Structure 1
Amino acid sequence: MVTKLRLVFSITIVFFSFYGTAQSNYWNDAVLSDANKRIVRNKLAVEEVKVFSLDDSLFRAKLTQNNVQTGSIVYFPDDDGKQIAFKVFEANVFSKELSIKYPNIKSYRGVSMDNSTKRIHFSVSPKGIQSMMTGRGEKGMLFMEKGIGLTYVLYNRNNHNAKDIGFICKTSPKILEQSLSSTAKLVDDQTLRKFRVAIAASGEYTNYHGGTKAGALTAINATLTRVNGIFERDLGVTLELIGTTDEVIYLDSETDPFTGSLSSQTQNVLTSVLGEESYDIGHLFNQKDDTLDGNSGFIGSVCRDNRKGSAYTTFSDPEGDVFDIDLVAHEMGHQFGANHTFSHLSEGTSVQVEPGSGTTIMGYAGITGANNVASNSDDYFHYSSILQIREYLETVSCGETMALTNVPPVLNPVQNYIIPKTTAFVLTGDATDADVGDIITYSWEQIDNGIVTQATFGPTSPTGAMFRSLPPTTVPERYFPNLDRILSGSLTQTNPGLGDAWETVSSVERNLNFSLTVRDNALNGGQLVSDEIAVLVSNDAGPFIVTSQSAPAAYVAGEVQTISWDVANTNLAPVSAETVDIFLSIDGGLTYPTIVAQNVPNDGTHDVVIPAQPTSSARFMVRAHNNIFFAINSVDFTITASEIVLNFDALEYEICKPDDLVVDFNYETYLGFSEESTFSIVSLPPGLNATFSSPTANTNNTPISIAFTGTNSVPIGNYPLTVRATAPTFTKELEITLNLYDTTFTEVQLVAPTDGFLNASKDLTLKWESNIQNTAYVLEIATDAAFTNIIESPTVSTNVYMPTALENNTEYFWRVKPINSCGEGVFGASRTFTTINFNCISQDAFGLPLDISSSGTPTIISRISFFEDLSLADLNVNLDLEHTFLADLVISLTSPAGTTVVLVSSSCGEARNINAVFDDDALPFTCTGNPAVNGTVRPLGSLSSFNGESILGEWILEVKDNAPSDGGRLNAFALEVCVEGNFRPDADNDGVFDDGDDLCLDTPTGQEVDASGCPIFRFPTENFNVSLQSETCRTNNDGQIQIEAKIGLDYEVTVTGSGVNVVQNFTDSFVLPNLSAGTYAICINGTDGTIVYEEECLDVVITEPDILEVSAIVALDSNQLTVSLEGSALYNVALNGVVQQTELSEVTLDLKDGANILKVSTNLPCQGVYEEDIIVASNTSPVVFPNPFTDFIEAYLGRESGNVVVKVFSATGRLVKSDSLTLNGPVTRIDLSELSTGLYYVQFLGENSKGTVKLIKR
């Protein structure tokens, strides 16, 4: 392995510009007044602004110095507070006729004197100035609007409030009959096409702008100045306002002709007032409070009579960047032939290539709620929009063509790539421009059509855009995703929101298609060139990840460090990246100017010398050589300086015996080190001599050579040597390796597969013995023993190889020859192997057709099963499906291994029906005719993703309908599978093979069979009606099971459980009485002549009534009783003789003072009766219970405390007992057992409780 270190020296050249240091004296900072605050809040809706005052007369004086050839120099402020000098030229939007009528309304365009990428377009009128500054890259466009008095408000378009402006574009999409041509030219014919534009103004619009025609024309001029700035740069198109425009500017909203149907009314006005011959494109500017809508009338209407004037734009504040860019430029884009590019809902146009709302002019930025990518559109057209517009303009003949001297850029062609899944990549353009002053910009955009919403955006999306469009930049490369996300490890993204990246790599196999648009940004009319690239994401490789340097570390310059990465099959087909390049960044991963290893094996590890570039923010990038994918280590590491660095070109060197070798290195010193160092080599093998060109060195950048001689006496092998520089206070060492070879080779011994190996997979690996003498091997694979028909002859650096061109059922011969840098050996003995046979079958799905409901968003599933464990070599899908709006559907196939491939996804718009064979080898489907997808076509996903998997198991076709209203039916579904090996015979397709396993051949299609292939007969669904009768009371043993059969057969039933074991025959009904509660197992067998049915079993439960459970709780503070009930569905609750029936599990009853009797029962006498006495006493009257009593009574004395005197009197009034009791609570127990049977009166004498109670002693 050889490591090369390239030192890059940066030379900074400072140019001083007079214009860059000068400042104007007509722009001055101003304070944001309350009046201007209202403009900012209500009309501009931006977060941050700068306010300037203008010396208007001085500014206009500068403009009057305008020279047609050289222009004039004027200044405009930017949002950094700088005054930017622009060379400006008059670029009037008004025709000559209109300019004569309104000489004080003008337009200009200019280029920055310091940075020619910055451009300005501005309009001037008696009402003031409006400007648009572009070409600022990620800083965003700057817009200047008139404020109050002589003040101007400057704002950045990126600072718009994040709110949905509610715009509705009412233009109906135009369904493309065919896809856009990928070879169509953009704007490279060195012409600028001028179209005459007629702008009508409603009375509301004119009143908004002052109520005069001049005021309306001032605003129209400001809008068209900005629109022209974009159209000229991106489309090679400019608009000129016709001389009679003022005839369709209306002053009175009550009498103007625009009353409702604005599209048709605008066309009628322009036709009747101006005449169709007087303009090429027409538009109405309208004002209406709280309204934002527009309609171009038609997609592609320019130059077409009775259509070209059907467009209008309505806005509550019809001025400023939102009106000019998001609305007017958008609707005019429709007029010139462009459809919408958003993808949050389906339009079926084949150009829905931006995720979510999109951000380019033909997108819907800021008006799609959760699908908003940004708050407002960017000021450029997507590649697909430019392509549509240019193709449309090729079909029309109106307009004036003006020759340009501007030469289009020259773009070197880009190539296609295959990359691993879940891996970052970078696309790089290479273009030049012969015109001095033209600054070319690059725009890499994804061009995959498909529906992509905020909810569906993510790494597993099979179709549509995974990367948003970004504004053009002077940087020729674009990282996917952006570098910030790569450095943070955020390669994927799901469910993004407003302001998020809307970028994710793919974790599934799919094609990613991109365009590169190169603009020259010429001031007088741009030229654009483009190319397209296809990037296939392979499911067989990835993710490609750097695994080393995953934690903060400090490395010393000149040390050797190991970089490790997960190869993840990227060295194998189809990615086939056999080598990688390794780069160093010292700015935290933003740039990678230093190559530390180039074209080294992609084997997962490599040693590099740390360059002498001290930093605390270093990163390594490992990138596939001649490919676009890469990985970066996950954290910054530190490089510290070393006093001495031994800078070798490589760490490994090769010598051919008996040659000598000279190795050069540079002796470098840092940190002011100046001591003399002495050079030596440690571990030099016997016989090998090493001589330094200078034995010592003491100055930086001293070149040193080491001469190695005497190799003839040294055995071949790999020799690590330590080169040492020893100084009095410091020693530096570096290990290099000498690989010593000669021209004597031994025959390579083949290892696997064994000679004559049969039934080899096409994916087999060839292996042979390695030898230290050999640095590489030449492998030959042929179809004949003489090796005259060689199908593969790779040179590889390892001792294994996986062939890529094998066919099935073919005998191959293979042999290997060793090589090294000294020469090559001869081919050794060959071996043979024969690849396995290749067989195909077709299998239809059962249970079809299946309806797809038009109600809701249904998903239907169809299944096909295979019963053999064979490796899949090829698969096609046959599909016959009806649906009235194919764009609603996502159709996918999932293998038993879980791999999913999408066949169709949100495709074909409103076209209907599919009757096709999906085959990877076919051309993509085109959505034409009915059925829209027909013939043999390529699916969206790659069916080859299934290759190598076993076909054994269930294959699932899923048809997901993502929108209501439209429905259909899946009529047929079949799989054509080709496998490695032979299918076992199964003529009746029952899954039991006929070559010995199937004992019952020719069973009917769809018949269920057992392991022997014999039919399984089952009772019809719901053939048996089983009814149960539970026990009426516990332990009554009167439960019952009754079975009734719908079809009369010879049945045998077995019932077991709870002490029962009954076997009985019946034909239509069966009753088993006298059962106790419990679980019973019922099994039923049946026969019908020779047919024996499968046994059907079930468990049933005979229940018994529950025990009646009652809980009664008294609330002492409310005299209420809460009764909780369990054990029955219906209860009889009686309180004091009043009965109520209830199904409730809890009831609340009111208690009376004194004794209360609660009784609870059910309708089952065997559940018994619950009975309880409840005494409610007042605070003063004692209550005694029970009554009658036998020996004891309990007295409730309320709140009484202390001592109470108790006297007992006989029925005749004789005192028979007197006692004083000490109370310990509200209830006191009193022993009256000594009393004889009879009637008594008991008197209580307490402080609070006094009273006499009559009692009966039993």
Structure 2
Amino acid sequence: MRKFLFFMVAALLLVLASSTAAQPSVSAEGAANVWSQIDESTIPAAGQATYRADTYLTYSADFGALRDLLSAAPREGSDNPALALALPLPNGSFVDVSATEYAMLEAGLAAKYPDFHTYYGTSASDPSLRARFDLTALGFNAVIWSDAGTAYIAPYQLDDTVHYLVYWKHDATPTSPLNEEGVLGEAVGAALAEGPASFNTGEQLRSYRLAMAATGEYTIYHGGTVANGLAAITTTMNRVNGIYENDLSIRMLLIANNDLIVYTDPNTDPYTNNDGFAMLAQNQANLDAVIGSANYDIGHVFSTGGGGVAFLASVCNAGTKARGVTGSPNPVGDPFDVDYVAHEMGHQYGGNHTFNGTTNACGGGNRNASTAMEPGSGSTIQAYAGICGSENLQSNSDPYFHSISLQEMVNFSQSGGGNSCANITSTGNTPPTADAGDGYTIPAQTYFELTGAGTDADGDPLTYNWEQFDAGAAAPPNTDDGTRAIFRSFEATASPVRTLPKLDDILNNTTTFGESLPTTNRNLTFRLVVRDNHPGSGGIAWDTVDHTVVNTAGPFLVSSQNTATSWVGNTSETITWDVANTTAAPVSCANVDILFSSDGGYTFDSELLAATPNDGSEAITVPNVNTTTGRVKVICSDNIFFDINNVDILVESSTSAVQQSAFSASNSGSLAGALAALLGLTVVVGFVALRRRQSA
């Protein structure tokens, strides 16, 4: 017995010691790293700061070594392996990116500016990561998109290729909102606006020759030389291409003589910098005269004023293809590149507005009823994030197109006028497939889950967007009139499941602006968009499903465990819920599953009861686990609606209750008490063993 007690005490001390032992830290060194984190105070002033962030890190780069390193990157289409390049992240770590160079400058322009290079990259360690970066007269620029967020690497100041800011998109210093001046041209016809319920594309890349002009004011902002103006254009368009290639298999190439339309003197350039409407006609006339209508497919002009304005579905059209303007006092970074340049060009490729708000910029004449599928300001590229006052879902657009925009722009570029001038090449990519599943009838004011599926023959890393695909009358967010969209779009994830509303809101009893449960008898149409994120030219697929909401049923609610609750494992407890007429037709939910989560409701991997009658009350056996974050979920067995109890449940395993006495005695400082407790535990174990022998 003494030996046994000694062993138990030793084991106890070992457990206590190991629980407080420090874990070793792990650091990863990136391949071919030319970056060093530095103190900002050591950076000498050299020029104007064009990129601004509230929180950031500062790095120095061996620019010569970086240029030499990237010169070894394989060209797109080469059989050579991609170059491994380490890029700094705003959290102080590095990520290894596989870099491939692609030719965004036509050969004639590249010959004039041999130090300009554009790249895209992926990461073997993070399938969600996509990167765009470039080398120009302004130094190195990069955008890194991943599940962690959007990160930027940008020159610290003009005329400085050594020092860099590294920051998250959400830490960028806010700039004054830029209102769009308008959209001109006829709306895309019904034949193009209506698309198939299921679709996929991505086998072909469509390249368009872009003539991108710049006013003298824009060029002066970037340093005043043609090379600097062209460098800023290159950075913006490389990022825009990253979006258009991934979502639409569209790429834009800067034409051979693009340097001829980058102006340096506001007094002699052919543009009225602060008048977007005037610049529409000015740009069309100027590009036709200087470049020649036959030598470009889409034209645009950058300025520092005048807002954004574009002619709808104008690419390839000889009379309107240059009628696109983007002007901002701060023509750099995400607000310029995504919110405005990608947006205005989206109009030129046939994309209408997608917001359904009513205030500020959303309250003007720019709303397009048939594509108004985003609550409030919306959040995708063709919406109005940040300029709709109290109806803003967020300050800036997310870097992707809503599925209605994809439908319009794919139709225009592949079946409409945009197909007449594209240079079409095979990508070698097999597009993914999408399956949105079957439709259900669900109760009103009740949570539900959408589960889809996607496949990809090439093994590309798939991401999923579930988006509501309903258009209705203009109205503020979080109101249901029975027709309009009541669920906003969120960025794609690696999961084909979307919980409505957001799972975090359900678990925290909060509400996200732009998400509201249905309260009326109505249909809810959802579209699942699958992206394969293929480098250089992505494939997409979508599938559409309809669900029916009835307000004679619901809300379906768990009514127990909604206040502080403690359980002991292997004991019996009762779960109750409000059936809320869900057993009656047309919902007809006869049975429910009761599930348990030990991580606060993020995963439910323990099934307490399967297909138990939907009668509002069931006894369950508590899982024999230790957790402070237990949750219970009741879900219809053959439907998609559910509820989760409102607060975390404390669960103590049945063995912990006995063991706790030993730990309590030990923690009190009494060795005798600890030994006595352990002796008691030994007696219990021995008694159980004896009973088992007697029953054998």
Q: Which residue of 2 aligns with 1:120?
A: 131
Q: Which residue of 2 aligns with 1:417?
A: 440
The answer to whether residue 129 in structure 2 is matched with residue 106 in structure 1 is no
CA deviation digits over 1:768-805, x for unaligned, max 9? xxxxxxxxxxxxxxxxxxxxxxxxxxxxxxxxxxxxxx
Aligned pair in 2 of structure 1 residues 117, 460: CA closer, same or farther (>3 Å)?
closer
Residue 539 of structure 1 and its aligned partner are, at CA, apart by 0.8
Partners of 2:114 and 2:214 lie apart in 1 by 20
**Matched residue type, 1:275:** G
Alignment of 1:185-334 (within 5 A): 186-259=199-272, 260=275, 261-287=278-304, 291=305, 293-296=307-310, 298-334=311-347
**Matched residue type, 1:398:** C
**Matched residue type, 2:141:** Q
Secondary structure of the corresponding residue to residue 457 of structure 1: coil
The answer to whether residue 169 in structure 2 is matched with residue 157 in structure 1 is yes
Aligned pair in 2 of structure 1 residues 117, 457: CA closer, same or farther (>3 Å)?
closer
Is residue 164–residue 369 contact of structure 1 (8 Å, CA) maintained in 2?
no
Q: Which residue of 2 aligns with 1:484?
A: 504
Partners of 1:380 and 1:243 lie apart in 2 by 29
Q: Which residue of 1 aligns with 2:22?
A: none
Indicate which of 630, 638, 642 corresponds to 2:650.
Answer: 638
Q: Which residue of 2 aligns with 1:141?
A: 150
Q: Which residue of 2 aligns with 1:624?
A: 636
Is residue 200–residue 542 contact of structure 2 (8 Å, CA) maintained in 1?
no
Normalised by the length of structure 1, the TM-score is 0.48
Secondary structure of the corresponding residue to residue 263 of structure 1: helix
Secondary structure of the corresponding residue to residue 170 of structure 1: strand
Residue 208 of structure 1 and its aligned partner are, at CA, apart by 2.3
Secondary structure of the corresponding residue to residue 385 of structure 1: helix
**Matched residue type, 2:583:** N
Alignment of 1:362-441 (within 5 A): 362-393=382-413, 394-395=415-416, 396-436=419-459, 438-441=460-463
CA deviation digits over 1:882-930, x for unaligned, max 9? xxxxxxxxxxxxxxxxxxxxxxxxxxxxxxxxxxxxxxxxxxxxxxxxx
**Matched residue type, 2:517:** V
Aligned pair in 2 of structure 1 residues 189, 26: CA closer, same or farther (>3 Å)?
closer
Residue 351 of structure 1 and its aligned partner are, at CA, apart by 0.6
Secondary structure of the corresponding residue to residue 371 of structure 2: coil
Is residue 33–residue 87 contact of structure 2 (8 Å, CA) maintained in 1?
no
Is residue 555–residue 580 contact of structure 2 (8 Å, CA) maintained in 1?
yes
Partners of 2:41 and 2:402 lie apart in 1 by 39
Secondary structure of the corresponding residue to residue 548 of structure 1: coil
Partners of 1:45 and 1:174 lie apart in 2 by 39
- Report the structure, 1 or 2, having the larger helix content: 2
Residue 622 of structure 1 and its aligned partner are, at CA, apart by 0.5
Partners of 1:406 and 1:177 lie apart in 2 by 30
Partners of 2:695 and 2:88 lie apart in 1 by 61
Is residue 106–residue 253 contact of structure 2 (8 Å, CA) maintained in 1?
yes
Is residue 378–residue 384 contact of structure 2 (8 Å, CA) maintained in 1?
yes
Is residue 186–residue 387 contact of structure 1 (8 Å, CA) maintained in 2?
no
CA deviation digits over 1:238-287, x for unaligned, max 9? 11111121222222211111135100110011112212211111111122
Q: Which residue of 1 aligns with 2:34?
A: 26
Residue 451 of structure 1 and its aligned partner are, at CA, apart by 4.4
Partners of 1:355 and 1:173 lie apart in 2 by 25
Q: Which residue of 2 aligns with 1:56?
A: 63
Secondary structure of the corresponding residue to residue 233 of structure 2: helix
Alignment of 1:789-868 (within 5 A): none
Aligned pair in 2 of structure 1 residues 265, 342: CA closer, same or farther (>3 Å)?
same
Is residue 187–residue 236 contact of structure 1 (8 Å, CA) maintained in 2?
no
Q: Which residue of 1 aligns with 2:533?
A: 521
Is residue 51–residue 155 contact of structure 2 (8 Å, CA) maintained in 1?
no
Aligned pair in 2 of structure 1 residues 502, 161: CA closer, same or farther (>3 Å)?
farther
Partners of 2:562 and 2:334 lie apart in 1 by 46
Aligned pair in 2 of structure 1 residues 160, 343: CA closer, same or farther (>3 Å)?
farther
Partners of 1:65 and 1:430 lie apart in 2 by 39
CA-based RMSD: 2.7
Alignment of 1:349-748 (within 5 A): 349-393=369-413, 394-395=415-416, 396-436=419-459, 438-453=460-475, 456-490=476-510, 500-643=512-655, 674-675=685-686, 677=688, 696=695
Partners of 1:696 and 1:120 lie apart in 2 by 67
Is residue 219–residue 262 contact of structure 2 (8 Å, CA) maintained in 1?
yes
**Matched residue type, 2:40:** L
Residue 87 of structure 1 and its aligned partner are, at CA, apart by 0.7
Partners of 1:30 and 1:21 lie apart in 2 by 17
Residue 564 of structure 1 and its aligned partner are, at CA, apart by 1.0
* Larger RCO, structures 1/2 (Cα 8 Å, 6+ apart): 2
Q: Which residue of 1 aligns with 2:12?
A: none
**Matched residue type, 1:473:** T
The answer for unaligned runs of 5 or more in structure 1 is: 1-17, 494-499, 646-670, 681-691, 698-1258
Alignment of 1:1183-1202 (within 5 A): none
Partners of 1:277 and 1:679 lie apart in 2 by 96
Aligned pair in 2 of structure 1 residues 228, 424: CA closer, same or farther (>3 Å)?
same
Partners of 2:581 and 2:176 lie apart in 1 by 46
Partners of 1:36 and 1:309 lie apart in 2 by 42
Residue 185 of structure 1 and its aligned partner are, at CA, apart by 5.6
**Matched residue type, 2:155:** K
**Matched residue type, 1:48:** T
Normalised by the length of structure 2, the TM-score is 0.85
Is residue 352–residue 368 contact of structure 2 (8 Å, CA) maintained in 1?
no
Percent of aligned pairs with the same residue?
A: 35
Is residue 339–residue 349 contact of structure 1 (8 Å, CA) maintained in 2?
no
Is residue 567–residue 651 contact of structure 2 (8 Å, CA) maintained in 1?
yes
Is residue 19–residue 114 contact of structure 1 (8 Å, CA) maintained in 2?
no
Partners of 1:37 and 1:46 lie apart in 2 by 17
Is residue 271–residue 306 contact of structure 1 (8 Å, CA) maintained in 2?
no
Partners of 1:328 and 1:36 lie apart in 2 by 33
Partners of 2:377 and 2:398 lie apart in 1 by 12
- Report the structure, 1 or 2, having the larger strand content: 1
Matched residue count: 625
| CA radius of gyration, larger in | 1
Partners of 1:24 and 1:675 lie apart in 2 by 63
Aligned pair in 2 of structure 1 residues 372, 406: CA closer, same or farther (>3 Å)?
same
Partners of 2:46 and 2:64 lie apart in 1 by 27
Partners of 2:454 and 2:237 lie apart in 1 by 31
Aligned pair in 2 of structure 1 residues 386, 36: CA closer, same or farther (>3 Å)?
farther
Residue 182 of structure 1 and its aligned partner are, at CA, apart by 4.6
Partners of 1:154 and 1:545 lie apart in 2 by 46
CA deviation digits over 1:426-471, x for unaligned, max 9? 11121122223x1100011112213455xx3335443322121100
Partners of 2:355 and 2:264 lie apart in 1 by 37
Residue 576 of structure 1 and its aligned partner are, at CA, apart by 1.1
Partners of 1:420 and 1:389 lie apart in 2 by 35
Aligned pair in 2 of structure 1 residues 561, 526: CA closer, same or farther (>3 Å)?
same
Aligned pair in 2 of structure 1 residues 292, 131: CA closer, same or farther (>3 Å)?
farther
Residue 23 of structure 1 and its aligned partner are, at CA, apart by 6.3
**Matched residue type, 1:450:** G
Aligned pair in 2 of structure 1 residues 640, 360: CA closer, same or farther (>3 Å)?
same
